Amino acid sequence: MTTRFDLSGKTALVTGANTGLGQAIAIALAEAGAGIVAVGRSSMDETEAAIRSTGRSFRAVHADLSTLEPIERVISEAGESGRIDILVNNAGIIRRADAIEFSEGDWDAVMNVNLKSVFFLTQAVARRMLADGGGGKVINIASLLSFQGGIRIPSYTASKSGLAGLTRLLACEWAGKGINVNGIAPGYFVTNNTEALREDPDRNAQILGRIPAGRWGDPTDIGGAAVFLASSAADYIHGVILPVDGGWLAR
C-alpha cells in the first residue's frame, strides 16, 4: 500500500554512510523505498549489504569531504544513479580539547567538514534540483550542540550551531522553489564520535542521568525522523531542527 512516507522511485545521497548514524539513515531510507548513493571515506561493504537486502539500488562514492575538491565528482557519480531527490548531510567530525588549548588545525578541520563542505555540496545538489524544477529534500544532521554549548568541543559546537542557522537560511531561500531544507539534532547516540564519553565512567553516568529515556540512542532510532523529513508527509515543513534525543532537551 502506498503511503505518504513511501520513497519508492526516489534516490537519496547520504554522506558519511559507511558507519553509525549515516549508515542507519541510509538503511531506513532504503527500507522506505529509496535508492541510495552512499558517500564515505572508508569501506561501505556493510552498508551495501544492508541496502541490497532491501532490494533497493546502491552506489558507493568514496570521497573525503575535508576539502571541496571531490564535490563535483560526487555529484557526477551520484548522477549516474539518476536524479538526486534527497540529500542527507551527515558526514561530520569532532575534536576534543579545552577551549584555552584548542588549536587552529582542529578548528579548521571540523569547520571544513561539518559546515563548509555541507554548504557547497548542498549548493551543488540544489542547483540541479532547481534546474529541472523537480524540487527535493535536504536533511542536515545537526546536534544538541546546535542548541547548547557543551564542553571541550568548541569547533564542533560552532559548526553545528552554524549548521542550524544555515538550515533556516536555505529553507527561507528555497521553500518557495520546492526544496525543503530541515535538520535532525541527534542526542547522545552510540557512535564513534561518542566513544570517549561512553568510556569515561563519570561522563557516561552524567549523560545517562540527564536523558529521560534512560539510555543512549541506538543508530536505528534516527531512521524514522529521516524518512519523515524526506517524504511527502513533510512537504509543508521548512527550516525545522528536529531533536531525536530521548528527551534530553525537554529536561
Q: Which residues are catalytic?
A: 156
Closest listed residue to residue 73, CA positions, set 61, 81, 85: 61
Whole-number Å distance between alpha carbons of 229 and 224: 9
- Residue carrying C-alpha cell 531525536: 244
Quickly list DSSP for 228-244: HHHSGGGTT--S-EEEE
Closest listed residue to residue 94, CA positions, set 28, 26, 191: 191
Q: What is the DSSP letter of 219?
A: G
Question: Grid coordinates representing 226?
Answer: 529521516
Whole-number Å distance between alpha carbons of 231 and 12: 11
Degrees, nearest 5: CA angle 37-135-23? 25
